[in-house]
Chain A
Amino acid sequence: MRDLVWKIALWLLVSAAMLLPIAWVEGHGFLSSATIQMWAKAIVLTDGPAVFRATDAFFPPLPFAIALVMQVLSGGTDIPLPHVLSAAVGGLLAVAWYYNLINRAAYDRLSAVLVVLLLVLNPVFLRSLSEGPSMMFLILGAWLFFRGLVNIRLFGTAPDMMKVALGLLVATMSHELGVLFALATLPALVLAARPSLLLVSPSGYLVSMFFPVVAAVLSLFFVSAVLKTDFFAVQLLSPDSAWAGATFLAIFCLLPVPLMVIFRLFLQPRFSMPLGGMLLTLVGMALLNRVYPVEPDPVLVAAPALGAIPVAARWWTRTSLRSTPLAALMVLSAMLGGWALGTLGAPESRAWLQAASGRMVTNPVAQAAHVAAFLRDRDEVLADVERHPDLVAALGNASNFIAAGDPAYDRVLFGGRPAGKFVVIGVDENDPVVRDRLLRALPRLKNNNDSRFDLVYDTGSWMVYRVNRAGDT
């Protein structure tokens, strides 16, 4: 019991420490769109109008559900709650990796601390922390899966199978990329399986391995159907041929340690096959992301490879000097990770790198702070809250909005008489597609050309209109 209390205390401490790098980049203006999106959804679902009905999917359910509970329990804070959740998962990973190295791989405390420290200081890990809890849960899922994958070959116990299943479940329920990750594990599961298990019944083996994922997906469809909510959806982005090469390179940047362990244990299939299975999964996921693009940032696609590093470190041959070459390779991996962020990363990753190096970047929430301040004391504001999470995040609540699900809002979208007192729209001149659904319904607002509305606020990117009732009968 005391051991458990101590572990929980350590987790809380490390989680608090994880907030520091997040706060550093946030202080320099970086907030990922994923974090803003989740934060805003949590605010709208807990503090928003009771009639609000999300038109976007509830996916990914695991981080969303936890973020919602945190939002309810905290009542809302100035700190983005997804960041707190992200730090908590990061802390959990760090503590779990530490104890795994100590208890399972007989590392001494100093070496274990060093390995974990180098892992969490890897720029890709830090970038993932700021990306939000979805990505951190995906890394957690990947680590659990990789751990189980190797153990299944070596030990084949029920908890190992449960690790594989839990890993796949966590990955699938946490991130769109996790669905691709789960699909990519299929050949890896065969590659890593004990020959005796496959010989007896290949179908039995695969069915039981994939049952949790299938059950989870079917369950989500069921819940979506009975609660009439869109719980499950993976939105495909437009494909970009540059992704694949950059993604493979980014993954490779994180693999020096696993590659070295595979090289050293190459002639022992019981190790090299499942460790190779980890690589196969990562490559397969990247390939699937090329065909079904869900994550545009090559560095973030590579992030689940972080879960492979502690698993490889755990199976590094036990010698008195194993920490030194391991640490050297992890430093190399960290350097390559930094390079990948700057060279291969999408604009958000590059922005993160700028913020991390102390330069200010554009903060979307800060940009919306001014219009949020204008709206703070106004009620009955028509807004497309799902397309403007930055506005919701800046406001900190959504109680004064008329949003999707409210008949008044839906009427406006279908060309009906404007309801409420105000309408807020976001204008992005660079975006070829008008994302604001209110602006799509009321296109003349963009040029202040609708007599039913009086412009009361305009910064170019944000416009607020008062609904003009003069013509009403």
Chain B
Amino acid sequence: MALDAESEAIGNLLYDRGILTDEQLDEAEDLAEAWNLGLVEVLLGKRWLKAATIYRELAYYYDVPLLDLSETLADSALLRRYDVTEMTEAQVIPVREENGRLTVATARPGPVTLVRIIEIFGSEVDIAVATRLDISLALQSAFREEQSHEAVYGLAETDPVMSASNVILPAQVVVLYGCISLFLLGLAFAPVPTLIALNVVMTVFYLGNFLFKATLVWVGSEAQERMSQSIAAEAAMLHDDELPVYTVLVPMFREPEVLPILTNALRNLDYPLAKLDIKIVLEESDHDTIEAARSLDLEGVFEIVLVPASHPQTKPKACNYALQYARGDFLVIFDAEDKPEPDQLKKVIATFRQSSPNTACVQCRLNYYNAQENWLTRMFTLDYSLWFDLMLPGLQRLGVPIPLGGTSNHFRMDVLRQLKAWDPHNVTEDADLGIRLTQKGYRVGVIDSTTFEEANVSIPNWIRQRSRWIKGYMQTFLVHTRRPVHLARTVGLPGLIGFVFFIGGTFLSGLLNPIFWGIFVLWMIFGAQLIEPYFPPAILYMSLINLLAGNALLIYLTMVAPFRRRWTYLAPWGVTVVGYWVLMTIASYKALKQLVSNPFYWEKTQHGLSKHTAAELKAAGDEGEAAT
């Protein structure tokens, strides 16, 4: 696509005024043509010029004043008279009103914006230029109450049955109470048959869980190889000029140290930087990270969104808040320490193109770059390899609702907004959203593109993180079983079974394991006589199958998991996965306790503890300097 006249003129101006060099201008013009963007957008994605310089020159070019909104504060009352969505999309705000004329600030003056300004504010306007960041902050300041409320209660008010704001509904309490009463009555009047019946339920559950996981691994791996090749081929053929604007949300909290890694990773994405709408989402109270972000003096495509303090202070609430300022057709969430594979966004676009129209989300794989650091990181890597590389593709193949992973899930923006995005009361909001998407008739895809993260190196830190995940799974299970018939109708029988085993199984096995371990120890110490009354032969043999074949199967699957990435050196560590299960059990009970006592509390995972992170920080710093 040829360069438009406006870009050409602005380019010449910058060159004439000695702001751009000859080479920079040539490169920027080439990129603008290749990406089908204006020159200003390209320059905002480069680190040659400070954003303030570009806006200053824009004002000069259009012969309009440049407003510094940090000094000339926008009139919040005036702002609130207009539609926030329209202003956000057009990147325009009214700054003041004098003598019936509005002064409207825009980050992108030009004919298109002028038309939008007239549509929104009428023709009695004076135009000024302000930076995109200033405009965004002014909008956030003026609408903070409404948008904060929307971020917290948007889902609960429009679709309350899908919200975890009520941990458990009265009907669920009645059912739970009934079950416990029945069990206690059974214990009182027929203790042995009751315990046998309970044993049968648990044993069958375990057996089903083992078989389900083996099936997932088998069917998942079969399908994914062929699809991966076709997606990679289409992604490689995508032209930059046809790529849509992509919003990247990076929620962070008290982790200033990893910001350089993140920005560096995002710069390395094989996607026109000018088509990225990167939002670094920070809590207003997190002064250290805010300061660190500002001091990095990032390119114009990076935008800081400050989330007002409110309860619950969770990542989904921050994302919901930032979503209201997102401009992309697609959206992805990355964690601060994430290193996505460079072609990930293109692969996602290719996947959306190849998938059915109801595909609303694509989950990429997660894995770790510090697998070899200690036992825990090895086990965590095996765990994630099994989960993301083998099981999630299996869920996709079987049509089971996919609980999305914490990051690297890519959404179609229209669907995300329609569904009111994430549940801020659910501490595994992504898992919940994956199930909700399926229930609403949308499909979640899984693709072969990996985001590498920092595996937890500390056991207490890991337990905190895992207990949050398990608590979130408990919340998700409680939310989506409120209407079991509706769930079965919307996700189908395989989906329902898969949901029970995958979501329910994950936390139930953690809770039940110590019971069976205890029985096993008693059996070994005191002999079979002690347990015989509660283990009739059929149950005994089934329990033995679970104990030996089931556990061996899970260990084997753990060993198989890293082969796809050729990480064979990790396979023998799979034998020690039993220790990891013990940690899972501890986390499960912590989660259960917290579900009762503090359901919406977000256990913060401390990042940056890995010794690899220091090396990453240095590399990011070096690359950042090289780019300037």
What are 9 contact pairs spanning A and B, CB under 8 A?
A156-B563, A158-B220, A158-B561, A200-B566, A211-B556, A212-B552, A212-B556, A215-B552, A226-B523
A216 CB–B CB distance under 8 Å: yes
Within the assembled complex, what's the spacing in Å between the Cα atoms of A442 and B463?
A: 69
Which of B329-337, B472-480, B570-578 lies at the interface?
B570-578
Write the chain B residue with the least CB distance to A223: B544
B528 touching A226, Cβ below 8 Å: yes
Residues on the A chain within 8 Å of B544, using CB: 223
Which of A159-167, A184-192, A354-362 lies at the interface?
A159-167
Which chain B residues numbered 569 to 617 have a C-beta less than 8 Å away from chain A?
569-572, 574-575
Which chain B residues numbered 537 to 584 have a C-beta less than 8 Å away from chain A?
544, 548-549, 552, 555-557, 559-561, 563-564, 566-572, 574-575
Q: 10 closest A-B pairs (Cβ-Cβ)?
A: A201-B569, A204-B568, A219-B548, A215-B552, A208-B571, A208-B559, A158-B221, A201-B568, A204-B571, A157-B221
A205-B222 in contact given A156-B563, A158-B390 (Cβ < 8 Å): no
B217 CB–A CB distance under 8 Å: yes
Which chain B residues numbered 214 to 228 have a C-beta less than 8 Å away from chain A?
214, 217-218, 220-222, 225
A196 CB–B CB distance under 8 Å: yes
B222 touching A157, Cβ below 8 Å: yes
B555 touching A211, Cβ below 8 Å: yes
Contact of A208 among B549, B566, B568 (CB under 8 A): B568
0/1 interface trace, chain A 173-205, chain B, CB 8 Å (1 if under): 000000000000000000000001100110111
Bin the interface of chain A by size. 20 to 34
Say how far B593's CB is from chain A's closest CB, in angstroms.
35
Contact of A203 among B552, B557, B572 (CB under 8 A): B572
A155 CB–B CB distance under 8 Å: yes
Residues on the B chain within 8 Å of A197, using CB: 563, 566, 568
A162-B566 in contact given A203-B572, A226-B528 (Cβ < 8 Å): no
Within the assembled complex, what's the spacing in Å between the Cα atoms of A390 and B572?
A: 47
B571 touching A207, Cβ below 8 Å: yes
Residues on the B chain within 8 Å of A157, using CB: 221-222, 225, 564
A159 touching B218, Cβ below 8 Å: yes
Contact of B559 among A159, A200, A211, A216 (CB under 8 A): A211
Residues on the A chain within 8 Å of B569, using CB: 200-201, 204
A222 CB–B CB distance under 8 Å: yes
0/1 interface trace, chain B 326-356, chain A, CB 8 Å (1 if under): 0000000000000000000000000000000
Within the assembled complex, what's the spacing in Å between the Cα atoms of A211 and B523?
A: 26
Main SS class of interface, B: helix
A208 touching B548, Cβ below 8 Å: no
Main SS class of interface, A: helix
Residues on the B chain within 8 Å of A207, using CB: 559, 571-572, 575
Residues on the A chain within 8 Å of B570, using CB: 204
Say how far A350's CB is from chain B's closest CB, in angstroms.
40
Given A155-B225, A204-B572, A205-B568; 15 other pairs, CB 8 A cutoff = A158-B217, A158-B221, A158-B390, A159-B218, A161-B563, A197-B563, A200-B567, A201-B569, A204-B571, A207-B572, A208-B568, A208-B574, A211-B559, A219-B552, A222-B548
Residues on the A chain within 8 Å of B390, using CB: 158
Say how far B577's CB is from chain A's closest CB, in angstroms.
12
Say how far A432's CB is from chain B's closest CB, in angstroms.
40
Write the chain B residue with the least CB distance to A161: B560
B528 touching A162, Cβ below 8 Å: no
Say how far A66's CB is from chain B's closest CB, in angstroms.
14
Say how far A199's CB is from chain B's closest CB, in angstroms.
9
Within the assembled complex, what's the spacing in Å between the Cα atoms of A201 and B567?
A: 8
A201-B571 in contact given A158-B564, A159-B217, A162-B560 (Cβ < 8 Å): yes
0/1 interface trace, chain B 437-452, chain A, CB 8 Å (1 if under): 0000000000000000
Residues on the A chain within 8 Å of B221, using CB: 157-159
Contact of B222 among A159, A208, A219, A223 (CB under 8 A): A159
Write the chain B residue with the least CB distance to A216: B552
Residues on the A chain within 8 Å of B214, using CB: 162
Say how far A164's CB is from chain B's closest CB, in angstroms.
10
0/1 interface trace, chain A 208-226, chain B, CB 8 Å (1 if under): 1001100110010011001
A158-B549 in contact given A203-B572, A207-B571 (Cβ < 8 Å): no
Within the assembled complex, what's the spacing in Å between the Cα atoms of A205 and B220?
A: 22
B560 touching A208, Cβ below 8 Å: yes
Write the chain B residue with the least CB distance to A202: B568
Residues on the B chain within 8 Å of A201, using CB: 568-569, 571
Say how far B229's CB is from chain A's closest CB, in angstroms.
12
Say how far A79's CB is from chain B's closest CB, in angstroms.
26
